[in-house]
Chain A
Amino acid sequence: MPLGLYGSEVSSRFLLGTARYPSPAMLEEAIREAGVDIVTVSLRRESLGIDGTQKGSGQAFWSLIRETGARILPNTAGCHSVREAVTTAHMAREVMGTNWIKLEVIADDMALNPDVFGLVEAARILTEEGFSVFPYTTADLGVGERLLQAGCQVLMPWAAPIGSGQGLSDINALKAYRQHFATTTLIIDAGIGRPSQAADAMEMGYDAVLLNSAVARAGDPVLMARAFALAIEAGRAAYKADPIEPYLGAMPSSPLTGMASLS
């Protein structure tokens, strides 16, 4: 069953970031190997070639991304204020031709945690302007409610700090989040380190997983991209298949009736 996002449908539930790969070729191969439909892209200063650096490096990156055919989810990574995030969203919309925006308003440079107050405010402004906002948030229920009130149709709680690879650091909070926002599209964003953690999130009923570092910084990013794709697909299938609940004790798998009398 496809994943619905603001009126669009995609088949892959794996959203992949495009930063920190050893080479552009490896990024391209990872995108293809993972079969992702959506990639995240940031907006940064174009190199002007003034100081001897290669001119127009963003142009080469952009054509590589376009050639993959993936849908673009621009982000506002690194923005610390509502104004900065909103302006970045405006610029991203023009330059990347989409009203989708992965909204990040960062509170602290070390923790890279969301400034949830700024996030809600920026989400409200951008939604009113016609953007489809994908907010990078915490697993706080109250903030999630405010984001929905601001017009978000998707929520993206973090699993752990960005790039940390810690996995689902507060699994009970994430379970409660899924339960509370039963009908909202929920995407785990940030903190995933291993495919098993992504599978766990999907088994809990999360609709998709967004990650970057766990693939890009792996020893073999292309193979890791495939591993995550398999895990996310497996986790989703397991969720749909309605797993059994844990039971304190044993329950025989083989039937007891018809046992031979051999003692």
Chain B
Amino acid sequence: MIRVNGEPHILVSSVSVLLKELGLDKATVATALNGVFVPSAKRDTALLKSGDEVEILAPMQGG
């Protein structure tokens, strides 16, 4: 298992596969793996292992 935005999720191979599975591969989002920014160009090679924590962030209301 991994955690995505704090929620448990089954392990998939990479950040890009995860985004595709969540239907967010074309979305305006930024990603991080275990607290480290993963630029969009590196999502294919950002491989996941059990226990990893992925953050998928989007622009939101802010002051």
Contacts and interface: CB of A to CB of B under 8 A. Distances in A.
B36 A87 contact: yes
B29 A46 contact: yes
A51 to B, nearest CB: 7
Interface of B: 4-7, 9, 22-24, 27-32, 35-37, 39-40, 55-63
8 contacts: A41-B59, A43-B30, A58-B57, A62-B28, A65-B59, A72-B59, A91-B30, A95-B58
Given A44-B58, A46-B57, 7 more contacts: A20-B61, A20-B63, A41-B59, A43-B58, A48-B22, A50-B7, A72-B59
State the main secondary structure of chain A at its contact with B.
mixed
Interface residues of A, number: 42
A91 B58 CA distance: 9
B62 A77 contact: yes
Interface of A: 17-21, 27, 40-46, 48, 50-51, 55-59, 61-62, 65, 72, 74-75, 77, 83, 87, 90-92, 94-96, 162-163, 190, 211-213
Contact of B4 (A48, A83, A96, A162): A48
A124 to B, nearest CB: 19
Contacts of B30: 43, 91-92, 94-95
Contacts of A96: 59
Nearest to A65: B59
B62 A48 contact: no
A24 to B, nearest CB: 9
A190 B60 CA distance: 19
Nearest to B28: A62
Given A46-B5, A87-B37, A95-B30, A61 B63 contact: no
